[in-house]
Structure 1
Amino acid sequence: MKRVVLFCLILLIVFETDCELSTRRQRRRMDQRRLRKSSSFHPRATTQLEVQQTTAAPDARLPMANSDYSIEENIESLLSNRGVESSYSVLPGKKGHCFVKGMIMYNKAVWSPEPCTTCLCSNGRVLCDETLCHPKACPYTIKPEGECCPICSEAEQEESIHKLHKQVPPPQMEMDQVAIKEALQSEEDEEVVKGHKEQKKETSVPTKLHGDEERTEGKLRPEEEGRSAHQPLHHGRREEEDSEEETEREDEEEDEKEENAIRGDVFRMSSRLIPVTPRGRPRLPRSCSLSYRTISCVHADFTEIPPITAPEVTNLELVGNSIISIPDEAFNGLPNLERLDLSRNNITSSSIGPKAFKSLKKLTRLNMDGNNLVHIPSELPSTLEELKINDNNLQAIDEESLSDLNQLVTLELEGNNLSEINVNPLAFKSLKSLSYLRLGKNKFRIIPQGLPASIEELYLENNQIEEITEICFNHTRKITMIVLRYNKIEESRIAPLAWINQENLESIDLSYNKLYHVPSYLPKSLLHLVLIGNQIDRIPGYVFGHMEPGLEYLYLSFNRLSDDGVDLVSFYGAYHSLRELFLDHNDFKSIPPGIQDMKALHFLRLNNNKIRNILPEQICNVEEDEDSALEHLHLENNYIRTREISSYAFSCIRLYSSIVLKPQRIK
């Protein structure tokens, strides 16, 4: 019996030991997780890193929504990501780029959407640094115009400064104290001399008697001693008041001595001197704010560039002012400027000094959108990587306009008066690094000549282009995207060898042109083809048959396609690759042939047609339902009687909530 009891006690001890070990391990894991979480925060206490995946930044291979044109209806569609909706747009950006308010931002691009926010494009994601304001100890605060954080009201601010004076200054103020002390030494000497003179003048004015203690210590001036010998003494209430005032004065003098001993000479400043700006913070105009080396003077009603001296500042924003000129010395106080935004002002070409930008040896981004320039400014820094002169009045680009900008990556010249007549064919010759070129909303009738070999994305929307010749893209072997929407192109005016041999061209947008058929001789490498808003009534057979690896996105919305314009060989070459097919807003009366054979198709639009019935196996192949990739189907705004649809018609679609059938038209 004793052995059994002993054995049970041993088992109990072993069990308790195991429990303690397991609880210790759990605590260690929890502590490690806490440490990992705490170490993931940004080290700066004044900022908060917010990682925002913008709604306009889908996968780099997916089409983007385009809301620039009201002619397109706002109809939701889905992205290739499961369960995520997308709309008509049109071309995706290159992998790693960010889409912000309709604009493509390159990887590592930095911009400031708001005065107190700085954003970075990092591999397709937008990272924004926002200014965090520390809580104020005062009950009443005000926020000055142009500032990021509130400050104490004037009364509370004076009280807080008085409290600060009584505290020991932090170590980082010691150097400031020494520098300011040396700078103000001569001023203080003058103040001391003036003080002695004023004291001598005061001796002629009758003053109250000082106490016996002061007189015995020799503190009274000779004049006062002489006068006190003949002046009668006052007793009673007047004497008590004098003694009280004297003690208060002595207490104030002692407090002042203690404060001076603690604070040093930095606070003993003449009242007529200008207050010293805190170390590392430049003096700014009232309407400007400073945040992380960025000076923001947005909508400040400036008529000229404010004189600012701040060598540490790298970003200057002067958006939305009334600046009319840029003199040669405008940026002499900002030698390390890297980004300069002068958009939406009234700057003219004749009012820019020839050496206005010469001192900016580190400038990489210059924005002059929305001004009155008639030609590109001269003597721009060779360090520029991004130049924006959209919505101006540019009349010409000659051979020398961009000659020194061999590091330029992005050039935007939309909304000007440029054409093949006033743009020299050698204007882009020196742009060896240019990969992103926007020339939309101009007056080009042909593709500009002399495009640099490094070009990757070309935007020529809203021009008057009628023809694409064989020599347009002869030297642009790296080009991946061409946007030609809102022009006057016909399929017969596209040369057979215009782009068929391009090995990297993945995206073409020919929306809102004058096409009657899907163009032949498309690039072999094409993945995205956007033909929205044309007059297309036929998809020729085998038009996609030569493509490798195969077309993935085909948008044919808002055309004139009917049952006679599509047959089984129309999609030949894309059955294995097509992922999204938009055939909405056409004239189909039945489901087009070949849909059930599209193995990779996951999103199909057939809404806003004239379809009346859906037969079994027109959309789903019953024998291959398990292998179907179809996830989303739009059939609304047709003439379909939903109660007559076969139960097998949508058997390949896993979620019935992804099938849109209502509303239907009644005829």
Structure 2
Amino acid sequence: MQATSLVYYFLLVSLCIDFSRNETSALLRRQRRRMRYRGLRRSSSAGHRSPRQPRMKLPAPVAVVPSIPLINIDDSVMGVFDSLIGLGGHESSYSVLPGKKGQCTANGMIMYDKAVWSPKPCITCLCSKGEVICDTTMCHPLKCPQTIIPAGECCPVCSDTASSLDSSIISLDDVTELSGDSPEPNDVDNTNILSSARTQTEKEELLRTEVVEFKEKEGHKKDEKKRKRKGKKNRRKYKAYHREKKPITRKEAAEEEIRYEDDGTFRMPSHFPIPVPPIEAHPLPSGCSTSDTTISCINAKLTQIPPISDRDITSLDLTGNSITTISDEAFNGMPNLEWIDLSKNNITSPGIGPQAFKILKKLKRLYLDGNMLVHIPSELPSSLEEIKINDNHLHAIDEDGLQDLKNLVTLELEGNKLSEANVSPLAFYPLKSLSYLRLGRNKFRIIPQGLPATLEELYLENNQIEEVSEICFNHTRNINVIVLKHNKLEEHRIAPLAWINQENLESIDLSYNKLYHVPSYLPKSLLHLILIGNQIERIPGYVFGHMKPGLEYLYLSFNKLTDDGIDPVSFFGAYHSLRELFLDHNELKSVPFGIDEMRKLRFLRLNNNKIRTVPPERICRTRVNDDDVHESSEEENEESRLEHVHLENNYINTRQLSPHAFSCIRSYCSVVLKPQIIK
């Protein structure tokens, strides 16, 4: 009978051991699934992570004594402790989700329930339901006058025996200083009571507790919740039993309590440092720098776009390198780019992958100036608002070259080989938002056809344009600025209906063309007319008479104007509006008539002509011999706004000038008379 009882007893022990192993394995799997689905991401775990734990060996259930014993731990915590040993025995970080109850404090640091930390070498503490429980490894007493702790070891050794060990050693007296969360001195002594080797009585007591749990599970499989409650109750009794026999280290949370907002949100104490997740350094080549959301690699001698992976980057500057190709995957690591500058490289059209820019759904500005492109890259994102491809080798734009760019506002294609022969009349049709177009330094002989209706500014300088036909601007009713300087225009090649009916056209630049007189049929709305550097000899009468509200800026410098070329009515229509008048570098021998009528004129340039005298009435309206009229004239002159007059480099004898010649000018220092040419 006794032999039978022993057999049953050993069978029961074996079943208990197997059950404990299976339970621990199942708990480990459940714990890993729970940690994965609870979304312990880097951002959340950085704010709620317990300190990193030292490497430790975990006990097999019941049979093996752990090297760092842990008591008062239920089976769920054991699963978490088991997760500390990763694959291949590597150490893994330990973290738990925050809760509202059961936290502990240690030197002001908040530790959540089930959190584990190491305040001192070879001492491990556990937060269990608001109580701090610490264990340490027992060391054999030494009989030597001085002891030291070798680096990486838990127990002290005599200083003589340690001489052959690593020279980096720590004295027992220095342990407290190096430990950030060391317990009170008496607590350290109390922790030594918890020995690494439990007595046989404790093992049997733990075994009996596990057997009771095993029997309850076998007898009540359908009542799983009840079994768990009983098991936890037994473990609490076991914990209380040890608390009576052996004192356990506790630390009062006296520095600051954990506070919660009304909605239950956890608020970290003010003195507790909130950990910030480390920022990964960009693998940037030498010569590159980063600032906020911008990466700059200007003149960094790059031959390809660096493989950068950072979704926060919005600006990339690669100006002045030796990049020749852009692969389809070049920007995959920076999908949120808004601005790319690839100017002054050696990029060719065959070197750009067809899908290179397609991934960049937020790209707004693309600069490709100073490369070797022969056509506009394909598959550009529709989000683009500005494109610059100046100083390349573009020789054609077909009707699909700018497709899907409905948000494009600015397009610059200067310094290429474009002409009316290789630019399709439908090329600009998809550009429903284009307002700024630069086509200077190309080979156009006429104004390009098919300009967008939304166009406001057109720049065609340094081409070979010879005429402006009456249909050029039929659809561009919003155009405001036209620049046609450095072309081959003559006044009779500008059609009478080319722009006279434009209601928003305010500025025309026809400098450095082949004009012989100021063009007629100018737009009604014109405010700025720039005619510098032509061969203009004459300003026809009433040429500005139809303009409303009236011309404000007229620049006729570097022409061939003579006294006979300016009629008394040449400025008719501009007397009440003209603010700046430039007539310098011409062949005038006297101050033109009509300037004294320009009541809003601020700036007058007559320098570098052949003027010999300045009559009193030509610039400022005065009468010297009639006192009454003179007084009334002074009142009128007070209303004059003339601020600057340039008359240098003429043939004026300044000593013979009338004192009333510049009486309407507020400050005499604004009249420039020197130097003069002396013959």
TM range (shorter): 0.5 to 0.7
Q: Say if 2:433 is the partner of 1:433.
A: yes
Listed one character per residue, the Cα deviations across residues 426-477 of structure 1 (whole Å, up to 9, x for unaligned) are: 0000101000000000000000000000000000000000000000000000
Counterpart amino acid of residue 554 in structure 1:
L
Which whole-Å CA distance do the structure 2 matches of 1:381 and 1:247 have between them? 61
DSSP 3-state at the match of 1:633: strand
Listed one character per residue, the Cα deviations across residues 236-286 of structure 1 (whole Å, up to 9, x for unaligned) are: xx9699699999632597279626989xxxxxxxxxxxxx99326544333
- Structure 2: 5+ residue runs without aligned partners? 1-41, 54-82, 93-140, 184-275, 623-632
Q: Say if 2:502 is the partner of 1:502.
A: yes
Q: CA deviation at 1:215?
A: 11
Q: CA deviation at 1:599?
A: 1.1
Residue 46 of structure 2 is matched in structure 1 by 175
Counterpart amino acid of residue 456 in structure 2:
E
Structure 1 pair 176/611, CA: closer, same or farther in 2 (3 Å)?
Answer: same
- TM-score, normalised via structure 1 length: 0.63
Which whole-Å CA distance do the structure 2 matches of 1:609 and 1:565 have between them? 14
DSSP 3-state at the match of 2:616: coil
Residue 370 of structure 1 is matched in structure 2 by 370
DSSP 3-state at the match of 1:657: helix
Residue 143 of structure 2 is matched in structure 1 by 212
Residue 654 of structure 1 is matched in structure 2 by 666
Which whole-Å CA distance do the structure 2 matches of 1:594 and 1:218 have between them? 104
Residues 440 and 460, structure 1, Cα contact 8 Å, conserved in 2: yes
Structure 1 pair 307/595, CA: closer, same or farther in 2 (3 Å)?
Answer: same
DSSP 3-state at the match of 2:529: strand
Residues 150 and 165, structure 2, Cα contact 8 Å, conserved in 1: no
Which whole-Å CA distance do the structure 2 matches of 1:178 and 1:451 have between them? 62
- Using the TM superposition, name which of 543-552 and 174-183 deviates more: 174-183
Which whole-Å CA distance do the structure 2 matches of 1:247 and 1:614 have between them? 97
- TM-score, normalised via structure 2 length: 0.62
Residues 277 and 283, structure 1, Cα contact 8 Å, conserved in 2: no
Which whole-Å CA distance do the structure 2 matches of 1:646 and 1:632 have between them? 18
Listed one character per residue, the Cα deviations across residues 566-614 of structure 1 (whole Å, up to 9, x for unaligned) are: 0111001000000000000000000001111111111100000000111
Residue 558 of structure 2 is matched in structure 1 by 558
Counterpart amino acid of residue 635 in structure 1:
L
Structure 1 pair 218/448, CA: closer, same or farther in 2 (3 Å)?
Answer: closer
Q: CA deviation at 1:628?
A: 1.1
Residue 675 of structure 2 is matched in structure 1 by 663
Which whole-Å CA distance do the structure 1 matches of 2:173 and 2:481 have between them? 78
Which whole-Å CA distance do the structure 2 matches of 1:620 and 1:261 have between them? 94
Residue 170 of structure 2 is matched in structure 1 by 249
Residue 632 of structure 1 is matched in structure 2 by 644
DSSP 3-state at the match of 1:366: strand
Which whole-Å CA distance do the structure 1 matches of 2:596 and 2:148 have between them? 113
Q: What aligned pairs does 1:37-56 form with structure 2 within 5 A after superposition?
A: none
Which whole-Å CA distance do the structure 2 matches of 1:639 and 1:219 have between them? 101
DSSP 3-state at the match of 2:618: coil
Listed one character per residue, the Cα deviations across residues 38-74 of structure 1 (whole Å, up to 9, x for unaligned) are: xxxxxxxxxxxxxxxxxxxxxxxxxxxxxxxxxxxxx
Q: What aligned pairs does 1:309-458 form with structure 2 within 5 A after superposition?
A: 309-458=309-458
Which whole-Å CA distance do the structure 1 matches of 2:90 and 2:521 have between them? 89
Residue 477 of structure 1 is matched in structure 2 by 477
Structure 1 pair 597/217, CA: closer, same or farther in 2 (3 Å)?
Answer: closer
Counterpart amino acid of residue 250 in structure 1:
S
Which whole-Å CA distance do the structure 2 matches of 1:261 and 1:241 have between them? 25
Structure 1 pair 551/402, CA: closer, same or farther in 2 (3 Å)?
Answer: same
Counterpart amino acid of residue 464 in structure 1:
Q
Residues 150 and 162, structure 2, Cα contact 8 Å, conserved in 1: no
Q: What aligned pairs does 1:98-113 form with structure 2 within 5 A after superposition?
A: none
Structure 1 pair 402/239, CA: closer, same or farther in 2 (3 Å)?
Answer: closer
Which whole-Å CA distance do the structure 2 matches of 1:425 and 1:246 have between them? 84
Which whole-Å CA distance do the structure 2 matches of 1:366 and 1:184 have between them? 50
Residue 517 of structure 1 is matched in structure 2 by 517
Residue 287 of structure 1 is matched in structure 2 by 287
Which whole-Å CA distance do the structure 2 matches of 1:184 and 1:429 have between them? 65
Q: What aligned pairs does 1:525-540 form with structure 2 within 5 A after superposition?
A: 525-540=525-540
- Using the TM superposition, name which of 175-184 and 603-612 deviates more: 175-184
Which whole-Å CA distance do the structure 1 matches of 2:395 and 2:52 have between them? 58
Which whole-Å CA distance do the structure 1 matches of 2:645 and 2:654 have between them? 14
Which whole-Å CA distance do the structure 1 matches of 2:149 and 2:574 have between them? 109
Counterpart amino acid of residue 648 in structure 2:
E
Counterpart amino acid of residue 378 in structure 2:
S
Which whole-Å CA distance do the structure 2 matches of 1:244 and 1:310 have between them? 47
Residues 390 and 416, structure 1, Cα contact 8 Å, conserved in 2: yes
Residues 429 and 450, structure 1, Cα contact 8 Å, conserved in 2: yes
Structure 1 pair 606/247, CA: closer, same or farther in 2 (3 Å)?
Answer: closer
Structure 1 pair 189/631, CA: closer, same or farther in 2 (3 Å)?
Answer: same
RMSD over aligned CA atoms reads: 3.6
DSSP 3-state at the match of 2:617: coil
Residues 176 and 279, structure 1, Cα contact 8 Å, conserved in 2: no
Counterpart amino acid of residue 632 in structure 1:
H
Which whole-Å CA distance do the structure 2 matches of 1:261 and 1:360 have between them? 54
Which whole-Å CA distance do the structure 1 matches of 2:182 and 2:43 have between them? 18
DSSP 3-state at the match of 1:618: helix
Residues 211 and 243, structure 1, Cα contact 8 Å, conserved in 2: no
Which whole-Å CA distance do the structure 1 matches of 2:586 and 2:327 have between them? 58
Structure 1 pair 219/522, CA: closer, same or farther in 2 (3 Å)?
Answer: closer
Residue 589 of structure 1 is matched in structure 2 by 589
Which whole-Å CA distance do the structure 1 matches of 2:164 and 2:590 have between them? 110
Which whole-Å CA distance do the structure 2 matches of 1:436 and 1:345 have between them? 25
Residues 149 and 171, structure 2, Cα contact 8 Å, conserved in 1: no
Listed one character per residue, the Cα deviations across residues 383-410 of structure 1 (whole Å, up to 9, x for unaligned) are: 1000110000001000000011011000
Counterpart amino acid of residue 445 in structure 2:
R
Which whole-Å CA distance do the structure 1 matches of 2:505 and 2:544 have between them? 15
Structure 1 pair 375/251, CA: closer, same or farther in 2 (3 Å)?
Answer: farther
Residue 179 of structure 2 is matched in structure 1 by 258
Which whole-Å CA distance do the structure 2 matches of 1:526 and 1:292 have between them? 45
Residue 607 of structure 2 is matched in structure 1 by 607
Q: CA deviation at 1:213?
A: 5.6
Q: Report the count of equivalent residues.
A: 455
Q: What aligned pairs does 1:155-194 form with structure 2 within 5 A after superposition?
A: 175=46, 178=49, 186=86, 189-190=89-90
Which whole-Å CA distance do the structure 2 matches of 1:179 and 1:407 have between them? 51
Counterpart amino acid of residue 175 in structure 1:
A
Q: CA deviation at 1:287?
A: 2.1
DSSP 3-state at the match of 1:617: helix
Structure 1 pair 244/437, CA: closer, same or farther in 2 (3 Å)?
Answer: closer
Residues 425 and 450, structure 1, Cα contact 8 Å, conserved in 2: yes
DSSP 3-state at the match of 2:440: coil
Listed one character per residue, the Cα deviations across residues 176-207 of structure 1 (whole Å, up to 9, x for unaligned) are: 89599699974994489xxxxxxxxxxxxxxx
Residues 396 and 423, structure 1, Cα contact 8 Å, conserved in 2: yes
Counterpart amino acid of residue 653 in structure 2:
R
Which whole-Å CA distance do the structure 1 matches of 2:608 and 2:149 have between them? 106
Counterpart amino acid of residue 46 in structure 2:
M
Counterpart amino acid of residue 492 in structure 2:
S
Residues 464 and 487, structure 2, Cα contact 8 Å, conserved in 1: yes
